[in-house]
Structure 1
Amino acid sequence: MVPNGWEFKKLGLVAELQRGFDLPSAKRIEGNVPIISSGGLSGYHNESKVEPPGVVTGRYGSIGDVFYVEEDFWPLNTSLWVKNFHGNYPKYVYYLLTSFDFKKFSDKTGVPGVNRNDLHAVKVGLPPLHEQRKIAKILSTWDKAIATNEKLIETSKQQKKALMQQLLTGKKRLVNPETDKVFEGEWEEVKLASSVSLMRSGLSRKLESENVGIAVLRSNNVGERYTSNEDLKYWYLDDPQGANVRNYILDEGDILVNFINSLSQIGKTCIYKKTGDLNAIYTTNLLRLKPNTEAVTGDFLFYLTKTERYRNAVKSITKPAVNQASFTTKEFGKITFTLPALKEQQKIASVLTAADKEIEVLEAKLAHFKQEKKALMQQLLTGKRRVNAEKQTEVAV
């Protein structure tokens, strides 16, 4: 059923898409006009090609992102841009395109790409111009709230990073709640090997998708702070190859380390968090660290693996390879840290944990905003939910 006052037209009659322009690479850093490629803003050119407002999306390589441009721009040949809005409100067209599932139009046999003719053939809902403006205004308000929340998250992360740099090096000492005085005493430099009671890699098996006995954590389950249970694989409790699987069952608080992985992921760590009664083991490209609680708390050791000192140390022992980089447990165990007394470790970890929880709350709020906006878009852009807009004579931008 067509909403009152709406039309359903092919996209090509609402917004005509055009392939971007070729551009010599030598000119990519000249001038002050942004170049918009399939990946977004990528450089500058010294000649204006398209006047704003503009709507650009990826044609080849990176597809799915849609950009609204409010300044002169040069759309690169890997992109598609709206050449003609046919009298429609550009910001409404932008939201219309952001609601598309571009993967449906992609050639899955090679590099992702979309054909403008395929997009032009899609029928879309088109309300009157005054309603287009109102819808765009409502959705823009949500975008502003999302952008504000993203800035808060980024600011909180930067503040936490600075706090870690101060607290984990002893440049800033906290107050001991037992004495109401600042912690004192020298920090001790120790090797990682002496800070853990266990350092062991996991099982190498061709895993099953169905639950045949016990969950298996892989590199993709290594989250930013805790393990993730997304896309779990499984193995048998009674190993067909004779290994004692129970020796690999993780305990709450164990730290997992990517030690065979891509260069971008090598050394990444997280804390194992058990979900309900679900036990888990881990694969051979992960190292299991069990903190030596007489020397270091688990949370403090985890935060030490998020420092620049740790990243540089991992980089120095990593051996690059064609497929996957790696380092040995022997070299990993030689990495050094400086540790305060256990009570100061606990206090530092509690402060950083509080900062993490603050970020988690903001991230949950951001996810909620995005979900609410997505649901609202689905209603507004189909006419299932109408806006309260008085009819008036308007001219498209």
Structure 2
Amino acid sequence: MHVPEGWKYQPIKYLCESIIDCVNKTAPVVEYETPYKMIRTTNVRYGKVDTHHVRYVKEKTYFNWIRRGAPRKGDVIFTREAPVGESGILDSEDSVFLGQRTMMYRSDPHVSNNLFLLYSLQTRFCQKQIENFSNGGTVAHMRVPDCGEIILRVPPLPEQHKIVQILSTWDKAIEKLECLITAKKKRKKALMQQLLTGKKRFVGFEGEWRKIELGKLLDYKQPTSFLVKSTKYSDEYPTPVLTAGKTFVLGRTNEDFGIYQEDLPVIIFDDFTTASKFVDFSFKAKSSAMKILTAKKGVSIKYIFEAMQILNHPIGGHQRHWISIYSNLIISLPKLEEQQKIAAILSAADKEIENHQKQLSTLKEQKKGLMQQLLTGKKRVKIDESEKMAAVKA
């Protein structure tokens, strides 16, 4: 394996001041907030450590569980199982400790940059090693000694700092856009609560709203004729295969029969979870538990979809919900013109969010490409003398 001039292959343990494993038993938690927080594997995702959605312990437990070492701001937290190989930078000064199946790397500032370690662990080069180390068991699991043996491609420290500086610029842009998307989603949700209940009305619209059952506004079709036969999907194929769940688009198929394309747009509805999606393009379905809902005459399907999103109805048991329960739920309904006006405003909000999400995807792809170039040395960064001196002094 070749590395650029001045770079070398090194196990991560030689780049760390310390590598600390968790206490390998579950800490007793309390049901109220304390200053002492447990980091679990679920808190480590996408290069970050979530210190907000955590479990809490008493002071005595905390000090018992940090006897091997307390995590501090700047440490890289790593998951050894469930899932294996996630890593994130601890960006908090809270009193946190390592929960089961987590460990941490503390970089040695004389030889490594902590964010350089984080970015390196996320590369395919390191992830492949992690996969190899964790093979052999029923559940993917990495031994603590092996966590120190992950090989990194390591440039001189000034170059590490420069690479981190460049990638951090993309991280900041990504984080800023993610915050904007979150704010836009909250704004739309607040708008829905006002517009879909009649609390806020547009000038020129008057008259009472009707209270009416969903089943009187929507017809439904079974998906049987539109179910995909083969799950050999490809991005090159023309027709999306949909689910009403979070995934939405499961893949794309080349099957040219049984494609749903009439009466668009429609709502697809998961009969078990009651999740729903608005669909305005041709598709095939994966699950027979899906209902395809179409609007009756004089009804805006987009308005009905948005009204369904603010219904607060508990899901009970593993049963089909549309016919027995959901079709009987009541929404507030203005006249068609007002429905269309509300739908248009909410569609505009959706479009704005969608555009920001496309921008976010572009930024993430750009960062991914940069990581491939910078962390392999295919693209070298220029280091001036002041940066070299700063690295030496550090």
Q: TM-score range by the shorter chain?
A: 0.7 to 0.9
Q: Read off the aligned partner of 2:365 and give its amino acid letter.
A: Q
Aligned residue in 2 for 1:299: 302
Q: Read off the aligned partner of 1:20 and give its amino acid letter.
A: C
In structure 2, the CA distance between the partners of 1:82 and 1:357, relative to structure 1 (3 Å rule), is same
Aligned residue in 2 for 1:195: 217
SS where residue 193 of structure 1 aligns?
A: helix
Q: Read off the aligned partner of 1:286 and give its amino acid letter.
A: M
In structure 2, the CA distance between the partners of 1:33 and 1:69, relative to structure 1 (3 Å rule), is farther
Aligned residue in 2 for 1:90: 114
Check conservation: 1:222, 1:228, Cα contact below 8 A: no
In structure 2, the CA distance between the partners of 1:27 and 1:128, relative to structure 1 (3 Å rule), is farther
Aligned-pair CA distance for 1:351: 0.3
In structure 2, the CA distance between the partners of 1:330 and 1:163, relative to structure 1 (3 Å rule), is same
Check conservation: 2:107, 2:114, Cα contact below 8 A: no
Q: Partners in 1 of 2:164 and 2:240 — Cα distance? A: 46
Q: How does 1:272-311 map to 2 (within 5 A)?
A: 272-275=279-282, 280=284, 283-294=287-298, 296-307=299-310, 310-311=311-312
Aligned residue in 2 for 1:67: 88
In structure 2, the CA distance between the partners of 1:311 and 1:105, relative to structure 1 (3 Å rule), is farther
Q: Partners in 1 of 2:361 and 2:27 — Cα distance? A: 40
Aligned residue in 1 for 2:48: none
In structure 2, the CA distance between the partners of 1:217 and 1:369, relative to structure 1 (3 Å rule), is closer
Q: Partners in 1 of 2:121 and 2:288 — Cα distance? A: 44
Aligned residue in 2 for 1:20: 22
Check conservation: 2:242, 2:249, Cα contact below 8 A: no
Residues 1:128 and 2:140 aligned together: no
| 5+ long unaligned stretches in structure 1 | 176-181, 238-244, 261-265
In structure 2, the CA distance between the partners of 1:103 and 1:258, relative to structure 1 (3 Å rule), is farther
Q: Partners in 1 of 2:36 and 2:159 — Cα distance? A: 32
SS where residue 269 of structure 2 aligns?
A: strand
In structure 2, the CA distance between the partners of 1:270 and 1:371, relative to structure 1 (3 Å rule), is same
Aligned-pair CA distance for 1:286: 0.8
In structure 2, the CA distance between the partners of 1:110 and 1:293, relative to structure 1 (3 Å rule), is farther
Q: How does 1:1-397 map to 2 (within 5 A)?
A: 1-15=2-16, 17-21=19-23, 22=25, 24-26=27-29, 31-40=34-43, 41=51, 42-44=54-56, 46=59, 47=63, 49-70=70-91, 71=93, 73-83=96-106, 85=108, 87-99=111-123, 100-101=126-127, 102-103=130-131, 105-107=133-135, 110-175=138-203, 182-196=204-218, 198-203=219-224, 207-209=229-231, 217=241, 219=243, 228=249, 230=251, 232=253, 251-260=263-272, 266-275=273-282, 280=284, 283-294=287-298, 296-307=299-310, 310-312=311-313, 315=314, 318-321=315-318, 325-390=319-384, 391-392=388-389, 394=391
SS where residue 394 of structure 1 aligns?
A: helix
Check conservation: 1:209, 1:233, Cα contact below 8 A: no
Residue identity over aligned pairs, in percent, reads 28
| 5+ long unaligned stretches in structure 2 | 44-50
| Mean Cα deviation higher: 356-365 or 329-338 | 329-338
Q: Partners in 2 of 1:345 and 1:311 — Cα distance? A: 21
SS where residue 169 of structure 1 aligns?
A: coil
Q: TM-score, normalised by structure 1?
A: 0.79
Aligned-pair CA distance for 1:13: 2.5
In structure 2, the CA distance between the partners of 1:361 and 1:55, relative to structure 1 (3 Å rule), is same
SS where residue 61 of structure 1 aligns?
A: coil
SS where residue 305 of structure 1 aligns?
A: helix
Q: Partners in 1 of 2:250 and 2:27 — Cα distance? A: 46
SS where residue 56 of structure 1 aligns?
A: strand
Aligned-pair CA distance for 1:267: 1.1
Q: Partners in 2 of 1:229 and 1:39 — Cα distance? A: 24
Check conservation: 1:107, 1:113, Cα contact below 8 A: yes
SS where residue 2 of structure 1 aligns?
A: coil
Check conservation: 2:27, 2:99, Cα contact below 8 A: no
In structure 2, the CA distance between the partners of 1:26 and 1:145, relative to structure 1 (3 Å rule), is same
Q: TM-score, normalised by structure 2?
A: 0.80
Aligned-pair CA distance for 1:379: 1.2
